[in-house]
């Protein structure tokens, strides 16, 4: 367990040090929610509806952060490991490459969850967002979407030989 936590924190530092993952995964969704909140305010989607345009936009912005980490961050990190032959080096250590891949998925999921939490916090605190529907159902759908997006990201990473191939796949 200690090996996993050490590897997790090292990988988390490496992901944070790579500014593109944090920028596209966290900063842009939070900035976008500020922009949409300022633009839409309390405008409803139609005259007969109680749902505001901002309420409709929040799940989409959360999905943007999820897709940035699952479809951009995860394939780039794994293709970079493959390109630098880091996964091959892990085959001769007590830690297997499978554990490194698992930790990388967990780190990217952490970035996606932080992004969603910050977007929801900004929406609740600054714009008085009220979620329509069940929060438990939202969490379940978010986990299902996280698994789906990350499986597509792993597919992209598995067929890409190097980082340039990942850039062309995106």
Q: Provide the pLDDT for residue 167.
A: 67
pLDDT in tens, 4-37: 899 899 999 999 988 888 999 999 999 999 999 9
Average pLDDT for 74-100: 82
41 φψ region: left (φ > 0), alpha (ψ -120 to 50), beta (else): left
pLDDT in tens, 38-66: 998 888 888 888 889 999 999 999 999 99
Q: Provide the pLDDT for residue 165.
A: 72
pLDDT in tens, 106-165: 999 999 999 999 999 999 999 999 898 899 999 999 999 999 999 999 999 888 877 777
Q: What is the pTM of this model?
A: 0.90
Q: Provide the pLDDT for residue 61.
A: 97
Locate the domains of the chain by residue range.
Answer: 2-169
Query: What's the chain's average pLDDT?
Result: 90
Q: Give CA–CA dist 157/64, Å, rounded.
A: 19
Contact 8, 106 (CB under 8 A): yes
Cα–Cα separations (whole angstroms), residue 103 to 11, 15, 34, 39, 170: 7, 12, 32, 39, 23
């Amino acid at each position: 367990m200690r090996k996993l936590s050490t590897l997790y924190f090292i990988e988390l530092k490496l992901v944070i040090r790579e500014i593109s993952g944090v920028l596209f995964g966290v900063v842009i969704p939070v900035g976008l929610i500020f922009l949409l909140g300022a633009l839409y305010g309390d405008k409803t989607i139609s005259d007969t509806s109680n749902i505001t345009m901002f309420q409709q936009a929040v799940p989409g912005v959360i999905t943007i952060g999820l897709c940035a980490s699952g479809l951009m961050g995860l394939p780039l990190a794994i293709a970079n490991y493959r390109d630098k032959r880091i996964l091959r080096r892990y085959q001769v250590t007590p830690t297997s490459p499978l554990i490194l891949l698992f930790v990388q998925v967990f780190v990217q999921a952490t970035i996606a969850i932080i992004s969603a939490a910050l977007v929801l916090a900004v929406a609740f605190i600054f714009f008085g967002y009220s979620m329509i529907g069940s929060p438990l159902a939202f969490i379940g759908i978010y986990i299902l979407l996280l698994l789906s997006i990350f499986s597509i990201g792993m597919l992209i990473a598995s067929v890409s030989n190097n980082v340039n191939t990942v850039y062309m796949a995106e």
